[in-house]
Structure 1
Amino acid sequence: MSHKLNLGWLGAVAMGMAMAAVAQDKPADFATQVPLSVSGEGPWYRLDLPMVVQLNARQTDLSDVRVFDAAGDAQAYALARETAQTADNRRLTDVKWFPLYNSMDATEHAPSVRVQSSANGTLVEVQPSSQLEAGEEALRGWLLDASAIKAPLQQLILDWTSERDGFQRFSIEASDDLQHWQSWGEGQVARLTFADERVEQHEVGLPGLSARYLRLLWDTPYSAPTLTSAQLESASSRRLPLPLVWSPALAGSSVKAGEYTWQLPMGLNVERVQVELSQPNSLAPVTLDGRRDSSLPWQPMSSALLYRLTQNGQDVVQNELQLPGQTVQQLKLTVDERGGGLGAQAPMVKYAVRATQLVFLARGPGPYTLALGSSTVKAANLPLSTLIPDYSAAKLATLGKASVEGGGVVTPVASPVQASTGTDWKKFGLWAVLLLSVLFLAAMAFSLLRKPPAKS
Structure 2
Amino acid sequence: MKRFALMLLVLPLSATAASVRDDYAQQWPMQLSSADAGAYRVVVSDAVYRAAQSPTLADVAPLNAQGEALPATLLGADAPLALPPQRVSLPVFPLPSRSSGPAGDLRLIAQRDASGAVTRIETQLADAAASTPTQSGGWLLDVSALKTGLQALWLNWQGQPPMQAELRLEGSEDLHTWFVLDPRVSVVELDNGRQRLSQRRIALTAGARYLRLTPVAGAVPALQDVQAEIARVPTPTAWQSVLLEGKAQAPGFEFVSPGRYPVGQVDVVSSGNTAVEWIVQSRDSPEAPWVQRAGPWLVYQVGGAQRSPPKALQVSTRDRYWRLLPSAGRAVGTPRLQLGYQPEVVVFLAQGAPPYALAAGSGRAKRADAPLQPMIAALSQARGAQWQPAPATLAATPQPLAGEAALKPAAVPINWKSLLLWALLIVGAAVVAGFAISLLRGRQPPDGA
Instruction: Give TM-score, length-normalised by structure 1.
Output: 0.49
Please tell me whether Structure 1 or Structure 2 has the larger radius of gyration of its CA atoms.
Answer: 2
Instruction: Give TM-score, length-normalised by structure 2.
Output: 0.49
